[in-house]
Amino acid sequence: MTDRTLVPQTAAEAAASLQACANERTSLAFEGGGTHTIGRRDRDGVVLSTRGLRRIVEYVPEDQTVTVEAGVTFAELSRVLAERGQRLAVDVAEPDRSTIGGAIAANAFGPRRMRFGSFKDLILGVGLVRADGVPVRAGGKVVKNVAGFDLSKLMVGSHGTLALVTSATLRVHPLPQATRAVRLTGLAPDAVWELVLEMRSRHLEPVAVSALGRASASSRYDADVAFEGFPAGVDSQTACVFEIARERGWSVEAVDPASARDGDARARTAGPLRVRGTVLPSDFAAIDALAIAPLAACLDDPSVCAYPALGIFFVAGKPKMPQRAFDAVANARACIESGGGSLVVEDAPRMPAEIEPWGTPPPSIRLMREIKARFDPEGRIRSGAFVGGL
Amino acid sequence: MPVNPQPFAAIVGAENVVGAPSELRTYECDGLTGTRVTPALVVLPATTREVSRCVKLARDLGMPIVARGAGTGLSGGAVPSAGCLVVGLSRMKAILEIDVANERVRVQPGVVNLDVSRALAPLGYYYAPDPSSQSVCSIGGNVAENAGGAHCLKYGFTVNHALGATLVLADGSVTEIGGPVLDCLGYDLMAAVVGSEGMLGIVTEVWLRVLRLPEKTRTIFATFATTGQAGDAVSAIVARGIVPAAVEMMDGLAIEAIVSATGVDWPLDAGAALLIDVDGIAAEVEETAHETIALMTACGAIEVRSPHDDEQRALMWKGRKGAFAAMGRISPNYYVQDGVIPRKEIAAVLREIAELASTSGLRVANVFHAGDGNLHPLVLYDARVAGEEELAERVGGEILRICIDHGGSITGEHGVGLDKAVYMSELFTDDDLETMNMLRCAFDPERALNPGKVFPTPRLCGDRPGPFALTSFERDGVAGRG
Ligand SMILES: Cc1cc2nc3c(=O)[nH]c(=O)nc-3n(C[C@H](O)[C@H](O)[C@H](O)COP(=O)(O)OP(=O)(O)OC[C@H]3O[C@@H](n4cnc5c(N)ncnc54)[C@H](O)[C@@H]3O)c2cc1C
C-alpha cells in the first residue's frame, strides 16, 4: 500500500472512502488540523483528512446548539457564533488549525473547562462512519436526550481509534457581557491550592484558574483567575480576589483577559517535550514537589501550566540531557499513577521505547479492548496507537 | 420453572432473598405500572462482592438479570424479564466517602438522591441533579437513566456529575471505570455506562461530583395568559444570555391539579406559569433576577412573585415537584410522557398537543423543563372506561411523533426502557441501533443484563452486523426482545 491522503468533501464521500479501505483491508488514520495527534503516526496506511468537511450544517442560536462537520476549525466556528453573540466554550491553543473533529477525538480543553466542562459535557450528538464504512448517527440535536446509548460521548477522547467523526452537534454558550482577569504572582504551590479553596469558600465562581510557572527549584506560580458574566458580578468577584490577596500578602494585579489566555496557550504549545498530568486536585502541591519540579529541572526553558481546580497540569521544554528527562518522566509517571492519576506524553523528540505515550492502562482495559474489537474488528484504524495498544 | 433460592441465600442470607409469589409482586413493575412481569427470584445484596457472586450464580443457571434501584423509573426499565433474577440495590445505602476539598463523594447505588445533598448540606455542598422523584429514587437508578431534573438546565445531568463507578459485569467480574481523578486513560467508559439503562453492568459504587451551594438563589413565579407567551418569555431570557438554574413551565390544567393537591395559592385562571430559579453569587443574582422579571413582563406576564423568604420558595418548588402526583386530584389515571424538542418549537408543539388532545377527547396537562425543551405531557384518562387506557397510550405515542417531527427526541430523562423501545426505530436507523448494540456486546456478549429493553428488535452479538437467528435463549422464552 502506497501512502495516500484522502480528502473527502462530504460525509458520503468519507463513508465511501472508508468502505474502499475496508474492501482493500487498508489501515488508516484520521487527521484534522494535526495539532492534537498523540503517539505513533501511522506511516504505512492511508490518511483520511477531514479538512474537506467544512460545512456548518445547522446553527440554531435560539437553542444554543450548532451542528458542524468535523473539519470546521475553531476560528471559523467562533466567527460564525460570535455574529449571534455566542461561542463554543472550549479553549484550544491553535484555533486556526484545530478542527472540531480532532478536538473531540483528542478531548481538547483549556482552563475554562472548570466552568463549562469538556467536550463530554458539550457534545449532543455525532455523525460517524464506522470502520466498515457504514455511516451512523448517535445522540441528537437537542440539549437533553437519553434515547439509546450515547456513543457521541464515547468518541470524546477516543483519539480516532473507534470511528471517523464526520459531524457533531454541540451546545454553545452566550458570549459574556463582561470579562475580568486577575493575576496573583509568585505563589508557592500550596498557596495556589489555598487560593482555589478560599475562592470557593467565598462563593466565587471563576470560569478559569490557571497557574503558570517556571517550576525551577523554587517552584513559584503566577495564578491567573478569570471571571465572566454580567458587569456587577465580575467586578465584585474581582474585588474579592484582591481582598484575598491583601489578607495574605500576595501581590495581585488586574490583567487583560486576553493576555492571560495567551500565556496559557504559549505554555501548552512549548516543546519539544510535552507532558500532561492529571491528579486529584488536592494533591497539586505534593505533585509539584515530587513530579513537576524535578521534571522541569531537567528541561531548558521549562514552562509549566496547571489548572489546579481540575487537577491537571502541563510541563513542556527542551530536555537538557534526554535520558535524564526521560527518567524524570518515568519517575513522575510512577508517582502520579500511584495516586490514581495519569501522565500522558503528548509529544517528545526521539522518545525511547520504554516511555510510551500513555502509561499504565487502567483496570478496565479489558472492556476497552472489547469495544475496540467490536468497532474495528480488523484493527485497521490507528490500531495500537492508543492506551494499552488499543 | 421455579429457582432454588438456597444457593442465593448462601450468598446474601435467607432474609435477603425474596421468592414467595406474594412478595415477588412488589418487584413486578416500576413507576410504569401498566407492564408487569413476575421475576423468578429477587436478591438484596449488601456488597459489591455479593452482587458479583449472585450474578455469577444466576448466569450459571442461565437466568437473565435485572438491576433494580428504587423502582421509580417511568419507562419500565426495571420491569423483570421472564425467569430473571432481580438484583435489588436497596440495602446498599451507604455514603462511603465525602471529600469536600476535591468536591467528590463516593456512594453506594441504593443511596437516595436527596440523601446525598442532605449529608452535604452542613458542609455547604450539594448534589446538583434533582429529579422530581429525588426524595425516593436511587443514585444507581439515576446513573442508569442519566436522570435529569429542574436544575439541570444550568448544572447538567447525571452524566455531567458521575465521574466513576464500580461495575459488576454480566459475567460477575468486577471492574472500576473512571474515578475521582479526571480523564481516566482510554475510552470514557463512564460516559457509556451513564444512561445505559442497566444493560452494561450493575453499578455498585459511584463517584459523584458535588457543588458548593450557591451563595444566593432567587425564585420567580410568573403567570401568563397562554403557554405561547410563557414560551416566548423563556426564549427572551435565554436570548439575553441569562442561564437560570431552572425554568419550569406549567399549563392551566397542571396549575389546577397542583393547587388542589398541594394548597399553593397560585391563580386558577392563568393559562400558564413559569417557575424560575436564578442562583450564583449574590452581586449577580439580584441583577439577573431583576432582568428576568423585566423580560417576563415584556412578554405579557400577568402576575410575578419573587419571594425573599426561603419557606415561600420551598413551597413553590414543592408544588412543582409534586405535579405528577397531583394529577390524581383531577383524573383517576394519567400517563406521563417524556419528549424533547428544540426550545424554539415549544409554542408550536404545545399547540399540536392541544389539538391532539381535543380530537382524542382526552385531556393533556403539561408540566415540564421548559429551559431545555423537555416536555412532560400528562395524558389524563379513566382506566375504568373501556378503551381509555389504550387511547391514552396512543395519544402518548402521537406526542412522541410530534417531538420527532420537530427535530427532537423520544425521551429526555425517563429512558427508553420497555415503553419506548418500539419508537427507537423511528428515531434511529437499523445501522445506528446496530452500532449501539456493538457497545452493549462489548460489555455483555450474552445479553444477559436487562434483556428486552431499549432495542426494538432482537440483536445478537455476532462479530459483525448481519442476519441473525434466534438463540436457544430466546426460543425458550428465557430472554426476549433486545
Ligand atoms: C413522580 C416521579 C417524578 C419523576 N421525575 C423525574 C425527573 O424529574 N427526572 C428524571 O430524570 N426522572 C424522573 N423520574 C423517573 C425516575 O425517578 C428516574 O428514572 C430515576 O433515575 C430512577 O431511579 P430508581 O432508583 O427508581 O431506578 P429503577 O426504577 O429501580 O431503575 C431504573 C433503571 O435503572 C436500572 N438500575 C437501577 N439501579 C441500577 C444499578 N445500581 N446499576 C445498574 N442499573 C441500575 C434498572 O435496571 C432500570 O433499568 C420520576 C419518577 C416519578 C415516579
Mean pLDDT value across chain B:
93
The vertex-B345 CA angle with B339 and B348, nearest 5°, equals 100
Place of cell 441504593: B110
Cα distance between residue B396 and residue A244, in whole Å? 56
Q: How far is CA A4 from CA A46, A117, A143, B458, in A?
A: 5, 37, 39, 40
Residues facing residue A209 across a β-bridge: A225
* DSSP H helix total and E strand total for chain B: 17, 20
Which one, of A346, A352, A302, A296, lies nearest residue A322 by Cα? Answer: A352
Ligand 1 contacts CB of residue B75 (under 6 A): no
- Collect all residues of chain A within an 8 Å Cβ-Cβ radius of residue B344: 60, 62-63
Which one, of A218, A31, A11, lies nearest residue A133 by Cα? Answer: A11
Cα distance between residue A49 and residue A33, in whole Å? 8
Tens digit of each residue's pLDDT, chain A (390 residues): 446 899 999 999 999 999 999 999 999 999 987 776 766 555 568 999 999 999 999 999 999 999 999 999 999 999 999 999 999 999 998 999 999 999 999 999 999 999 999 999 999 999 999 999 999 999 999 999 999 999 999 999 999 999 999 999 999 999 999 999 999 999 999 999 999 999 999 999 999 999 998 655 568 999 999 999 999 999 999 999 999 999 999 999 999 988 877 778 777 778 789 999 999 999 999 999 999 999 999 999 899 999 999 999 999 999 999 899 999 999 999 999 999 999 999 988 777 777 889 999 999 999 999 999 999 999 999 888 899 999
- What pLDDT sits at residue B91? 98
Place of cell 451546545: A171
- What pLDDT sits at residue A216? 56
Cβ density class B179-205: b for 16+ within 10 Å, e for less: bbbbbbbbbbbbbbbbbbbbbbbbbbb
By the 8 A CB rule, do A170 and A88 touch? Answer: yes
Place of cell 426505530: B425
A112 three-state secondary structure: coil
- What pLDDT sits at residue A268? 79
Cα distance between residue A277 and residue A345, in whole Å? 9
Ligand 1 contacts CB of residue B195 (under 6 A): no
Ligand 1 contacts CB of residue B166 (under 6 A): no
Comparing alpha-carbon positions, the chain B residue that sits nearest to A172 is: B241
Which phi and psi (to 5°) does residue B366 adopt?
-125, 125
Cα distance between residue A157 and residue B189, in whole Å? 11
> How deeply is B71 buried, as exposed, middle or buried, from its count of CB atoms within 10 A (0-12, 13-18, 19+)?
buried
- What pLDDT sits at residue A35? 72
CA distance A82 to chain B (A): 13
CA distance B189 to chain A (A): 7
Identity of the amino acid at A152: S
By the 8 A CB rule, do A241 and A66 touch? Answer: no
- Give the number of the atom of ligand 1 that is nearest the alpha carbon of residue B140: 41
The pick from B35, B50, B74 for probing ligand 1's pocket by mutation, whose C-beta has the most ligand atoms within 8 angstroms, reads B74
The predicted-structure confidence for A101-144, as pLDDT tens digits, reads as follows 999 999 999 999 999 999 999 999 999 999 999 999 999 999 99
Dihedral sign for Cα atoms in the order B433, A368, B461, B453: negative
How many CA atoms lie less than 13 Å away from B459 in the CB half-sphere?
26
Cα distance between residue A331 and residue A337, in whole Å? 10
C-alpha cell at B400: 412522541
What residue ranges define each of the domains in chain A, with the CATH number in brackets?
5-174 (3.30.465.10), 177-209+223-255 (3.30.70), 270-376 (3.30.70.2740)
> How deeply is B268 buried, as exposed, middle or buried, from its count of CB atoms within 10 A (0-12, 13-18, 19+)?
exposed
By the 8 A CB rule, do A311 and A387 touch? Answer: no
Place of cell 440523601: B115
Which phi and psi (to 5°) does residue B16 adopt?
-110, 20
Max CA pair span of chain A: 68
B396 three-state secondary structure: helix
Cα distance between residue A233 and residue B286, in whole Å? 10
The pick from B29, B43, B52, B68 for probing ligand 1's pocket by mutation, whose C-beta has the most ligand atoms within 8 angstroms, reads B68
Helices (H), A51-146: 74-82, 100-106, 113-116, 119-122
Cα distance between residue B415 and residue B198, in whole Å? 11
Q: Which CATH architecture has domain B6-88?
A: 2-Layer Sandwich (3.30)
The predicted-structure confidence for B85-127, as pLDDT tens digits, reads as follows 999 999 999 999 999 999 999 999 999 999 999 999 999 999 9
- What pLDDT sits at residue A124? 98
CB pair distance less than 8 Å for B409 and A147: yes
For B114-175, the DSSP string reads: HHHHHHHGGGTEE-----TTTTT-BHHHHHHHT---TTHHHH--GGGTEEEEEEE-TTS-EE
| Domains B6-88 and B331-414 equal at CATH topology level | no
- Collect all residues of chain A within an 8 Å Cβ-Cβ radius of residue B102: 280-282, 311
CA distance B367 to chain A (A): 16
CATH topology for B214-330?
Alpha-Beta Plaits (3.30.70)
Cα end-to-end distance, chain B, whole Å: 22
Average pLDDT over residues B137-153: 96
Is residue B481 predicted with pLDDT exceeding 60?
no
Max CA pair span of chain B: 68
The predicted-structure confidence for B60-96, as pLDDT tens digits, reads as follows 999 999 999 999 999 999 999 999 999 999 999 999 9
**B364 CB contacts (<8 Å, ≥6 apart)?**
B253, B353, B354, B356, B357, B377, B378, B379, B380, B395, B399
CB pair distance less than 8 Å for B188 and A157: yes
Is residue B480 predicted with pLDDT exceeding 60?
no
Average pLDDT over residues B403-423: 96
CB pair distance less than 8 Å for A340 and B282: no
Residue A16 has a CB neighbour count (10 Å cut-off) of 16
Residue B357 has a CB neighbour count (10 Å cut-off) of 21
- What pLDDT sits at residue B482? 41
Place of cell 506524553: A345
Place of cell 463513508: A15
- What pLDDT sits at residue B397? 95
Cα distance between residue A190 and residue A250, in whole Å? 13
The predicted-structure confidence for B340-391, as pLDDT tens digits, reads as follows 999 989 999 999 999 999 999 999 999 999 999 999 999 999 999 999 999 9
Identity of the amino acid at A32: G
- B331-414: in CATH 3.30.70.2740: yes
- What pLDDT sits at residue A44? 66
Residues facing residue A167 across a β-bridge: A69, A127
B92 three-state secondary structure: coil
Ligand 1 contacts CB of residue B45 (under 6 A): no
Written out in words, the top-level CATH class of the domain with range B95-212 is alpha beta
Residue spans of the domains in chain B: they are 6-88, 95-212, 214-330, 331-414, 428-476
C-alpha cell at A280: 486529584
What is the distance in A from the centroid of ligand 1 to the CA of B31? 9
Identity of the amino acid at B161: H
Ligand 1 contacts CB of residue B210 (under 6 A): no
B419 three-state secondary structure: coil
**B447 CB contacts (<8 Å, ≥6 apart)?**
B440, B441, B459, B460, B461, B479, B482
C-alpha cell at A292: 513537576
- Collect all residues of chain A within an 8 Å Cβ-Cβ radius of residue B177: 362, 364, 367
- Collect all residues of chain B within an 8 Å Cβ-Cβ radius of residue A61: 239
B328 three-state secondary structure: helix
